[in-house]
A and B are shown apart, each in its own frame.
Chain A
Amino acid sequence: MAKRVDHLGLRSAMAERLTPMLIGAMSFLAALAIAGALAAAALAGQWEQNTGAALTVQVPQPADKSQDGNDSRLRAVLTLLQAAPDVAGAKALSAAELNALLLPWLGTDSAKLGLPLPAVITAIWTGDGTPDALRGALDAVAPGTLVETGAGWAARVASLTGSLQASAVSVLFIVALVAAAVIAVATHAGLAQRRETIEIIHGLGALDSDIAGSFAIRATSLAALGAAIGTACALPVLFWLAALAAPFAGVLAQPGPALPFELWVALPAVPAGAALIGWVTTQVTVRGWLRRLV
């Protein structure tokens, strides 16, 4: 077994502090970008599930008689909704709930204003597609009844979160490019500083892979170390962001200081990715440089 000796003197030739520090900064950003992408995906899922299926029915003049004259318009619509196979949990909002809903616009007691407010029924749409048939049926028993679903909102949220995820991927790509550039510059500096040593070792019969391998081991360890530190530094920020996001997304709102499982799986990929970038960049840089030697 060959002993590992630092033949090229790379421990002193390749910056011990600057490279890990810069890679650490890149990894910090990468960890935040990954967390942002995962949070956006989780939020999108959560919102699509809750908002996309929400059904809101407004019944104007709720106390008037319905078309068949047997019941009030509100009662007739509610009965039809409760009997509909694709609708679940149909429930008319109470006066207090309606009051609370309109509080920002109409003040504390909207009933006193004497406005012709519609009754509001909330439900969950469990069917496929759009509730057009239901809309027609409700309009038949209580003309002017409005049926709204959260599908439009959900589509907008999906579009927004898709953009956020694309931005996060772009950030990761740029971070990877900058990390590769940092490694390439450090490698070039090491090559310039150890030029004579490399020429001697090359003359003694070292293969390109021997020399590139020595540089790659050094660069990979520096990159992995810097990335591990950078990722660790991102953890407190991620915990803080998770706590801030908790009210908006159930998936992040776990008891105590917790991050989503997916993030715990993804974060170790940052040092691993940095190490891979370090290895590949150094191999390419050194082998290209060695080609100048005969």
Chain B
Amino acid sequence: MVRFENVWLKYRREGEDSLDAAPDVITDMSFDIPEGGFRWLTGPSGAGKTSVLKLMYLAEHPSRGRIELLDTNAARVSRREAAMLRRRIGVVYQDFRLLGHLSAYDNVALPMRLARKSEDQVRADVTELMRWVGLSHRLDSRPAELSGGEQQRLAIARAVVGRPKLLLADEPTGNLDEEQAERLMLLITGLNALGTTVVVATHNLRLVGRYPAPRLQIEGGRLIHNG
């Protein structure tokens, strides 16, 4: 499902053409996540968790190594194939990344519309999903009109509306209180129980303790624990 083989990542510095001088953000990382698996991605702030997730949702290319996503070699896909691959990956960003000029309904409908689903199907799926995340009364609200918890649930709804094979969440509970975080984790583990492969990046070890699952622990861009 997800396979990293000796993956390295450097970020190009502004104004520099070569990656040679850039420091390694991810160093020689290898791991496997089977289909339907759940992994915590843990480590202190700045350890490289977000970078690992970026590699998983094709926002970055590794500077070295090989990444296989959903049985596809990520380095060998065309731009069109990469877009198709992204449609099978749901992402919950740390800062939600909702579109402020669209309503809650249109934010969730966006991945389906990009996939050219019929408007009838969009309406049925989005309405059901908004009910599932407890936002059926906020369909016409703009993200700015929603609370932090509501925005987070909206981001989850958008990430899963396309029935992704892989769900990635970056510090999904970071902006939530205990009760909201609990509710969110129930949503995510529920999706995992339905067969979605899930990777959740967090530095909240109390949360990890409450939902035991294999852990990818990284520090300084290196994988120091897998299991």
Contact = CB atoms under 8 A, between A and B. Distances in A.
Interface of A: 1-3, 5-7, 9, 12, 196-197, 200-208, 210, 294
7 nearest CB pairs, A to B: A205-B87, A9-B101, A205-B86, A207-B83, A200-B97, A204-B111, A3-B119
Interface stretch (B32-40, B58-66, B199-207): B58-66
Given A6-B101, A7-B113, A208-B80, 12 more contacts: A2-B116, A3-B113, A5-B109, A9-B102, A197-B99, A200-B97, A203-B59, A203-B97, A204-B87, A207-B114, A294-B59, A294-B60
Contacts of A202: 83, 86
B57 interface: yes
B79 interface: yes
14 contacts: A2-B113, A3-B113, A7-B99, A7-B113, A201-B99, A202-B83, A203-B59, A204-B114, A205-B86, A205-B162, A206-B83, A207-B83, A208-B83, A294-B58
Contact of A5 (B59, B106, B158): B106
A294 B60 CA distance: 6
A136 to B, nearest CB: 79
Interface string B63-88: 00000000000000001101111110
A185 B58 CA distance: 29
Contact of B57 (A1, A201, A203, A207): A203
Nearest to B112: A2
A105 B87 CA distance: 88
Interface of B: 57-61, 79-80, 82-87, 91, 97, 99, 101-102, 106, 109-111, 113-119, 122, 158, 162
A200 B113 contact: no
Contacts of B122: 3
B59 A200 contact: no
A182 B80 CA distance: 29
A3 B117 CA distance: 10
A202 B57 CA distance: 11
A197 B113 CA distance: 16
A207 B111 CA distance: 12
Contact of A1 (B79, B101, B118): B118
Nearest to A10: B101
B220 to A, nearest CB: 24
A203 B168 CA distance: 12
Contacts of A201: 99, 110, 114
Contact of B61 (A2, A205, A294): A294
Contacts of A6: 101
A9 B110 CA distance: 13
Contacts of B106: 5, 7
A210 B113 CA distance: 11
A233 to B, nearest CB: 33
B110 A7 contact: yes
Nearest to A6: B101
A205 B59 contact: no
Nearest to A4: B113
